[in-house]
Amino acid sequence: MSYSYQRIVVKIGSNVLTLFNGLPDLERIAHLVDQIAALKKRGLEVILISSGAVASGRSMITIPEKKDNVAARQLLASIGQIKLINTYLSYFEKHGILCSQVLVTKEDFRDRLHYLNIKNCLEILLKHRVVPVINENDVVSVTELMFTDNDELAGLVASMLEADALIILSNVDGIYTGDPNLPGSVVITDVRKGNEEIQSGISISKSSSGRGGMVTKLGMANKVASLGIPVHIANGKKDHILSLILDKKIEHTYFHPEKQVSGKKKWIAHAWESATGSITINQGAKEVLLSGQARSLLPVGITEVCSDFKKGDIIRIMDTSFKLIGVGIAEYGADKARERTGIKGHKALVHYNYFYLVD
Ligand SMILES: Nc1ncnc2c1ncn2[C@@H]1O[C@H](COP(=O)(O)OP(=O)(O)O)[C@@H](O)[C@H]1O
Ligand SMILES: N[C@@H](CCC(=O)OP(=O)(O)O)C(=O)O
């Protein structure tokens, strides 16, 4: 039996789209587009996260700078992205499908308003049967504005669009028990919450053109699965990989989804690192939040409002030793929270539905 997904996010890594010599693998790109077109015929909505701008640029110009140099990356991506998107455009056109270019930075996901702007943009594209081709805007994404890599971006988009699944295509068959090049290593096919064994197998190595490596794929996949979205990691170099995954006919790594959470909670899970406000809470409040029960954070449990925030901001919730417990959306601002600190009978500062436990 096949997976009955309606909306999927597919992320394709640089190395899937490039040949050993660094030149774009046009046959592979054409074949991936054919597969996406076939899925659209089956009635699926597909959102594509495509790396490959830097790799494409590298095939067009020779520069003396080191590959991690910021200016070099900007130059290569600026040249390469236009080539990449033109390649997609011409291949999708052959199927009578429109594709679009969406370039984003981490900043576009930080506050709720920007986040909803992007979400609305992607929804309108999907409504008009367009395949969004999303990449990080490497030309303006520098240092702290950068995603760890496109796997992080793919996780964000899958959560934002409440996708039925996220498929990560790399140049390996999935996550292996050890270095994929060593003879004893095998693909881990099923990952469930609390699977510790998987972490130890992952080495820090990555492919020649990749950015984050398998470590970020694992972290992102765990997070996305914890928000209720299944994640597949498979080999994009294999022919017909997308239908083989969907029809359960190929071995790869599958992350089982946990219970679905609300759209707002999905946003908090991805955006909390940019939270500004923070509070500390006492032991009783900490136990309540960690109990797993649907209990909100009342101001009686607050011990200190450490930094300012407004109603609607994401705040960090720490214990009295400043250890982070979780994050949540503030129902009112820091001034009111200070007035109510340690006092009974006031409305919750963070509602249970808008609280996210940080591991
Ligand atoms: N345990 C592991 N299982 C699979 N791949 C691993 C593992 N440890 C390290 N890797 C490396 O991670 C690479 C994939 O990550 P990355 O280079 O970022 O790919 P992509 O460009 O597809 O994002 C593989 O080519 C492999 O060399
Ligand atoms: N945005 C960059 C890709 C960065 C990245 O995450 O690459 P990869 O690890 O191959 O998915 C580009 O288009 O070259």
Please give the average per-residue pLDDT across 268-289, as a whole number: 89
Percent of the chain scoring above 90 in pLDDT: 68
Domains in the chain: how many in total? 2
Residues 289 and 223 in one domain: no
Instruction: Give the nearest ligand 1 atom to 175 CA.
Output: 3
Closest alpha carbon to 44 in 9, 12, 10, 5: 5
User: What span, in angstroms and rounded, lies between the C-alpha atoms of 39 and 101?
Assistant: 20
In a domain, 346, yes or no: yes
CA distance 133 to 81: 11
- Of 265, 299, 314, the one marking the end of a domain is 265
147 lines ligand 1 (CB under 6 A): no
Please tell me the predicted confidence (pLDDT) of residue 231: 98
Shared domain for 175 and 253, answered yes or no, is yes
Q: Is the CB of 13 under 6 A from ligand 1?
A: yes
Q: Per the domain annotation, does 221 fall within a domain?
A: yes
Whether residue 68 has pLDDT greater than 70: no
DSSP conformation letters of 315-357: EEEE-TT--EEEEEEESS-HHHHHHHTT-TT---SEEEEEEEE
> 172 and 105 in one domain?
yes
200-204, 219-223, 249-253, 277-281: which has the minimum mean pLDDT? 200-204
Q: Is residue 2 part of a domain?
A: no
Q: What is the pLDDT of residue 69?
A: 83
Question: What CATH code is carried by the domain that includes residue 123?
Answer: 3.40.1160.10
Has residue 270 been placed in a domain?
no
Residue 158: predicted pLDDT: 97
Q: Mean pLDDT score of the chain, rounded to an integer?
A: 90
pTM here is 0.89
Does residue 171 lie within any of the structural domains?
A: yes
Q: Using the 8-state DSSP alphabet, how is residue 207 labeled?
A: -
* Residue 246 and residue 341 in one domain: no
Q: State the pLDDT confidence band at 293, using cuts at 50, 70 and 90.
A: confident
At 216 the pLDDT is 82
Is the predicted pLDDT of residue 202 greater than 80, yes or no?
no
Q: Is residue 245 part of a domain?
A: yes
What ipTM does this complex have?
0.96
d(CA 216, CA 146): 14
Let me know whether 199 and 322 are in one domain. Answer: no
Q: Which amino acid is at 315?
A: I
Whether 289 has a pLDDT exceeding 60, the answer reads: yes
- Regarding whether 115 and 232 lie in a shared domain, the answer is yes
Annotated binding site for ATP: 11
Q: Which ligand sits closest to the CA of 152?
A: 2
Domain around 283 = 275-357
What is the C-alpha separation between 238 and 138, in angstroms, rounded? 28
- Identify the band that residue 209 occupies on the pLDDT scale cut at 50, 70 and 90: low
What's the pLDDT band for 174 if we cut at 50, 70, 90? Answer: very high
Distant-in-sequence contacts of 179-184, Cβ < 8 A, 24+ apart = 179/203, 179/205
Separation of CA 8 and ligand 1 centre (Å): 22
N residues, the chain: 359
- Mark whether 333 and 206 lie in a shared domain: no
Same domain, 173 and 150: yes
Cα 50 to ligand 2 centroid, rounded to whole Å? 8
Collapsed DSSP state (helix, strand, coil) of residue 256? coil
